[in-house]
Amino acid sequence: MEAFRQEIIIGAVFVYMVFCVVTGLWAMRRTHNSSDFFIAGRGLGPIVVSLALFSSTLSGFGFVGGPGLVYSIGVSSFWMIVISSSGYALGFFLVAKRIRMIADLRNCLSLPDIVAARYNSEIVRFLFALTIVLGVMGYLATQILAMAVVMQAILSGTEMFAGIGLVTCVIVSSAVLIFYCVTGGIIASVYTDVVQGFIMMLAGILILITAANVFDGGMTEASAIILADDAETIMPFGAAGIMASLGWFFVFGLGLAGQPHLVTKMMMNKNISDNRSILPMSLIGYVMAALLWVSIGVVMRAAVIDGVIPPLDLPDDAASVFLSVFANPILAGIVFAGLFAAIMSTSDAFLNIGTAAIIHDMPKAIRGHGVKNELMWARIVTVLLAVIAASFALYSHFRDATLVAILGAFGWATFAASIFPVLAIGLNWKGATVAGAVSAIVAALVINFFVQIAGVSLPYGISGGLVAFVTSMVLFIGVSLVTRKPDIGDDIARMMEI
């Protein structure tokens, strides 16, 4: 079986991609209008929403960057995972019920629709849409690049595709992504998410079992090896230190309820009461998949320190080297399919919300009404957005990584800082005002952009995202407390009393 390792891996990835294409074709028959395309007609069951929610949370970063971070800085990066229970709890307590109610009341298709209804403000809608478009470009470009790099690594291990180029890999992987997103919209996206979620959970458990058997003493021996080399790396704050770790706790914990690609899924369930089962199912799925992140990182660092394997060229090679050295070929095939699943499930969610922001929200904010024939334009813009992001990814890879890095900063932290207070607190506090919302969003964008462009390095590992988030929280509540309450619609006011 070992002799056919590459063929098994390629076969697993190929089967997965064929599945995505078939799902796209199936979902196309169920997509009749823009409501179906963007929010699946608000008719999804709890299992589908749960799996879609958690698989979108754990992107390719969780499968590649996560283990790489543990290898590089130790336990510091665990904070991004252990906060998942707090993050999901906050998301459901603050957002899930109310976002679903407003979506029903005002027939909302997107997150900017929700805040426009809540604040009765087109400025807030526009700023939300702008934040989403900027963030989506950075996220999509990095996800597409990651997908192509992994595909190139897999294919170049075979004789037939030994010299395959990155551009070809970008085209092939993007084509599959575009196909099922364009044909089936969010319906294809969430149903592929279901399978993607199962693959990710299976991969997480199998990897944990494999990792626990690399050393005779299991994970305890791996931890002891790291402790003997540098104790702080395996202690609660890892090599990156106290404030970097607590910053991740803040930004990833509270920030989960501010991620547009996640909270949009809270608009799609059929019944509000399904939320009580969606929450635990999402959390369990996430934790099972995230086992991969922790176990590969710890074992790879211990294996390098112990001389079992040579040091890695790059920390991000941790997962792929682990799979080639320690994993059975079938497991490697499942995990690589899981990796593509993780990347695609996040990418399709971003394509969807980015498209909605461009064709639905920005025209509404500027002209007062959306475009005619939204479904057709949604499909066209989905293609354009993916093509631009793919070109952007290639440009950054071959020419200049700065642009993607800047837009990459508009990732999790910026979404968290600019969206969380306005959405999560604003949906539960009638006193929140337009001025509070605008100041919070603008401050979050400016601080994140400034820290990134100016290359500001803050002491003790404090991140720009953390500063932006704390500032936006203070501004949102502080400014709202001293400005006049907005005139919100009667239906929204009554909804907030429920």
Decide if residue 486 touches other proteins (CB under 8 A).
no
Decide if residue 45 touches other proteins (CB under 8 A).
no
Contact letters (x/-) for other proteins, 156-175, by CB under 8 A?
A: --------------------
Residues across the chain: 498
Decide if residue 280 touches other proteins (CB under 8 A).
yes
- Single out the residue of 287, 308, 380, 488 in contact with other proteins (rule: CB under 8 A): 287
Residue 187 Ramachandran class (φ > 0 left, ψ -120 to 50 alpha, else beta): alpha
Task: Give the DSSP letter of residue 44.
Answer: B
Decide if residue 233 touches other proteins (CB under 8 A).
yes
Shortest Å distance, C-beta 222 to other proteins:
8
Shortest Å distance, C-beta 391 to other proteins:
30
Assess contact for 95 and 257: CB atoms under 8 A: yes
Decide if residue 439 touches other proteins (CB under 8 A).
no
Whose Cβ is closer to other proteins: residue 196's or residue 210's?
Answer: 210
Could you say which residues in the range 185-204 bind other proteins, by CB under 8 A?
A: none
Cα separation of 64 and 392, whole Å? 21
Could you say which residues in the range 417-436 bind other proteins, by CB under 8 A?
A: 424-425, 428-429, 431
| Torsion sign across C-alpha atoms 113, 119, 123, 124 | negative
- Single out the residue of 28, 371, 403, 477 in contact with other proteins (rule: CB under 8 A): 477
Shortest Å distance, C-beta 384 to other proteins:
34
CA atoms within 13 A on the CB side of 59: 22
CA atoms within 13 A on the CB side of 479: 21
Whose Cβ is closer to other proteins: residue 344's or residue 424's?
Answer: 424
Could you say which residues in the range 311-330 bind other proteins, by CB under 8 A?
A: 311-315
Assess contact for 340 and 13: CB atoms under 8 A: yes
Stretch that binds other proteins, among 322-330, 355-363, 366-374, 472-480 (CB under 8 A): 472-480
Whose Cβ is closer to other proteins: residue 165's or residue 217's?
Answer: 217
Q: What letters, b where the CB count within 10 A reaches 16 and e where it falls short, cover 128-160? A: bbbbbbbbbbbbbbbbbbbbbbbbbebbeeeee
Decide if residue 459 touches other proteins (CB under 8 A).
yes
Could you say which residues in the range 61-80 bind other proteins, by CB under 8 A?
A: 71-76, 78-79
- Single out the residue of 85, 158, 213, 402 in contact with other proteins (rule: CB under 8 A): 85
**Nearest of 280, 296, 274, 258 to residue 72 by alpha carbon:** 296
Decide if residue 398 touches other proteins (CB under 8 A).
no
**Nearest of 441, 437, 38, 432 to residue 267 by alpha carbon:** 38
Whose Cβ is closer to other proteins: residue 359's or residue 419's?
Answer: 419
Shortest Å distance, C-beta 29 to other proteins:
29
Whose Cβ is closer to other proteins: residue 32's or residue 276's?
Answer: 276
Tokens of 341: 């699943």
Burial class (CB in 10 A: 0-12, 13-18, 19+), 164: middle
- Single out the residue of 161, 230, 403, 483 in contact with other proteins (rule: CB under 8 A): 230
Stretch that binds other proteins, among 17-25, 236-244, 262-270, 390-398 (CB under 8 A): 236-244
Contact letters (x/-) for other proteins, 244-263, by CB under 8 A?
A: x-x--xx--xx---------
Stretch that binds other proteins, among 10-18, 55-63, 403-411, 453-461 (CB under 8 A): 453-461
Decide if residue 279 touches other proteins (CB under 8 A).
yes
Contact letters (x/-) for other proteins, 98-137, by CB under 8 A?
A: ---x--xx--------------------------------
Assess contact for 250 and 469: CB atoms under 8 A: yes
| Torsion sign across C-alpha atoms 325, 331, 334, 339 | negative
Instruction: Specify the amino acid at residue 59.
Output: S
| Torsion sign across C-alpha atoms 80, 83, 89, 94 | negative
Decide if residue 494 touches other proteins (CB under 8 A).
yes
Decide if residue 283 touches other proteins (CB under 8 A).
yes
Cα separation of 30 and 40, whole Å? 9
Assess contact for 76 and 317: CB atoms under 8 A: no
Stretch that binds other proteins, among 192-200, 393-401, 434-442, 452-460 (CB under 8 A): 452-460
Q: What letters, b where the CB count within 10 A reaches 16 and e where it falls short, cover 22-38? A: ebbeebbeebeebbbbb
Stretch that binds other proteins, among 130-138, 170-178, 224-232, 397-405 (CB under 8 A): 224-232
Cα separation of 40 and 259, whole Å? 19
Assess contact for 129 and 370: CB atoms under 8 A: no
